[in-house]
Amino acid sequence: MRRPFRALVAFLPRLGSNWLTLFGSIIVSVSAATMLAALAIDLTSSGLNAYASAVIFLVLPGTMAMGLVLIPVGLVMERRRLARSSVSGGGAPAEDPASLQAAFAVAFQSSTVRRRLGFLLLMTGLNVLVFSSVTYKAVTFMETPRFCGTVCHKVMQPEFDAYNTSAHSHVTCVDCHVGSGASSTLKAKLSGLRQVWGVLTDHYPRPIPTPVHNLRPASETCEKCHQPGLPGASKLGFRVHFKKDKENTPQVTALLFHTGGKDKKTGRWSGIHWHTSDQFKVRYEVMDDKRQTIGKIQVFENGKLSKEFLPVKPASCAVMGLRTMDCVDCHNRATHSYDGTAEQAVERALADGRLDRTVPWLDEVATSVLKEAAPSRAQAASYFEAALAEGYKRLHGTEKPDLPAMTKAAGGLTKLYERNVYPDMNLSWDTYPSLLGHGGPDPGNTKAQCFRCHSGDYQTAQGEAVSSKCELCHEVMLKDELPADLPDEIRPLLQL
């Protein structure tokens, strides 16, 4: 067994006959060994970290390919050098028994040719195996949220952090952001190269602009799991606010949301999900990049135009395009969601226990402190310890809580800040507002959220207006009630 193997690799010393071939051989050996070791580690453990995976599975295959090119280039250069040396010595160029011409001359009759051909086939097979394994690993790695969220860490950290705390954290990024088929994948990769270049040159938007205009339609994403056509009863929801008093008194509003759906008997759609039904389609003119200013609104029933609503006061800007309404026109932050305003963040934290509402005046003081805060994320913890103490001194100097309560509250504010504010990306409170409902920072804005269309400012030629009645979407069952005063039937449903 030793003799055939030695014969097979007898000409390996030739790989060091030329500096270029030697350099290529070293590159191939090191790259292949590293990738094989990485594959073994990845298959037998929890996996490599994102940065190591990016280098090993995305960079090293190209390095190995370069080495494979350098080896034959170096051999050709060495053969020509030998040929020139023979000519300059006055003799005829010697036939190199290792050359391609000699291999063809003796064909398979020569044991030398057979050995080298066998070695070539063996190494080609190994290279194909390594390349295919690493290429598969690279493709699958690039489709993981870990790659999307951590390789370009500074740019994607806000979105990745929000994704990890969302109800869709089990859904991969590519399921929504990359379409099916080779063409969609190619477009995504080309866009990715542009984004990588932007990161390398430090030339990218801060914050990342929304909405994502090339996002796949909801019929290919949301509706793979959700079915808006299911018969929808109504859904009870609670909105909890707190008085700016010493006790942080909670006030509960109960709303009955008419989510709607398709009626099994009549086949008609009703409720909120009417907007995205298979029977009715709503199309509107987009007047700005954020889709906040709406132009003409068209309603199609079974594919035919049934109503057309025009703005009473036409916008001064030009039409940027037409859009068919789908889930993300309202559920625009279904995955990458933030708390909204500082006040909303504090109220949610008081409601779910992240902030202790037994601490006197905490709602008022914490909201004031968060609104004014602008430290770096690295200094947030120490900042809020001092800022909260100063806030109590400024607003309620004689009623400052004890040190443990202050320390715990400062830690809670730090977490709220870190969840919502990323100074390096110019992302702050309400940079990415949710378009659900109308409870944003300016509820009186007649052109925000639902009121983009349901403001009463759109009419048909016959004078019919897009309704602005609240009861279309919800009914107020209880308003600003104390938790203890809620009916026994619904009190257990409130998580407070």
Cα 111 from Cα 289, distance rounded (Å): 71
Q: Higher model confidence: residue 68 or residue 353?
A: 353
Cα 87 from Cα 102, distance rounded (Å): 19
With CA atoms as reference, report the closest residue to 58 among 180, 157, 140.
Answer: 140
Q: Determine if the peptide bond prior to 145 is cis (ω within 30°).
A: no
The yes-or-no verdict on residue 159 having pLDDT over 50 is yes
- Average pLDDT (412-419) is 96
- Average pLDDT (414-430) is 94
- Strand, helix or coil for residue 402: coil
Q: State pLDDT tens for residues 169-207.
A: 888 888 888 776 666 666 777 777 777 788 878 888 999
Q: State pLDDT tens for residues 365-381.
A: 999 999 999 999 999 99
Cα 158 from Cα 336, distance rounded (Å): 8
Q: State pLDDT tens for residues 18-39.
A: 667 777 777 777 777 777 776 6
Helix or strand run (H / E) with residue 298? strand 294-301
Q: Higher model confidence: residue 150 or residue 319?
A: 319
The yes-or-no verdict on residue 473 having pLDDT over 60 is yes
Domain limits of the chain?
Answer: 2-142, 145-204, 235-335+437-493, 342-425
Cα 100 from Cα 106, distance rounded (Å): 10
The pLDDT of residue 70 is 77
- How many CB atoms sit inside 10 A of residue 171's CB? 17
- Average pLDDT (243-255) is 94
The pLDDT of residue 147 is 77
The yes-or-no verdict on residue 397 having pLDDT over 50 is yes
In the chain the first and final C-alpha atoms are separated, in Å, by 77
Q: Are strands 474-481 and 304-311 parallel, antiparallel or unpaired?
A: unpaired
The pLDDT of residue 5 is 47
Cα 161 from Cα 145, distance rounded (Å): 11
- Average pLDDT (43-49) is 58
The pLDDT of residue 230 is 72
Task: Compute the half-sphere exposure of residue 102: CA atoms within 13 Å on the CB side of its CA.
Answer: 15
pTM: 0.73
Q: Higher model confidence: residue 72 or residue 294?
A: 294
Distances (CA, A) of 273 to 150, 229, 233, 459: 35, 8, 11, 22
pLDDT range class, residue 49, cuts 50, 70, 90: low
What percent of the chain clears pLDDT 70, i.e. is strictly above it?
76
Contact 412, 380 (CB under 8 A): no
Cα 77 from Cα 92, distance rounded (Å): 19
With CA atoms as reference, report the closest residue to 150 among 122, 170, 173, 117.
Answer: 173
pLDDT range class, residue 66, cuts 50, 70, 90: confident
Mean pLDDT estimate for the chain:
81
Least confident of 84-93, 119-128, 177-186, 315-324: 84-93
The pLDDT of residue 124 is 66
Q: State pLDDT tens for residues 251-291.
A: 999 999 988 888 777 878 888 888 888 888 999 999 998 88
The yes-or-no verdict on residue 105 having pLDDT over 70 is no
With CA atoms as reference, report the closest residue to 126 among 73, 56, 68, 72.
Answer: 68
Cα 149 from Cα 50, distance rounded (Å): 9
Q: State pLDDT tens for residues 357-369.
A: 999 999 999 999 9
Helix or strand run (H / E) with residue 284? strand 280-286
With CA atoms as reference, report the closest residue to 51 among 64, 40, 38, 66.
Answer: 38
Contact 96, 50 (CB under 8 A): no
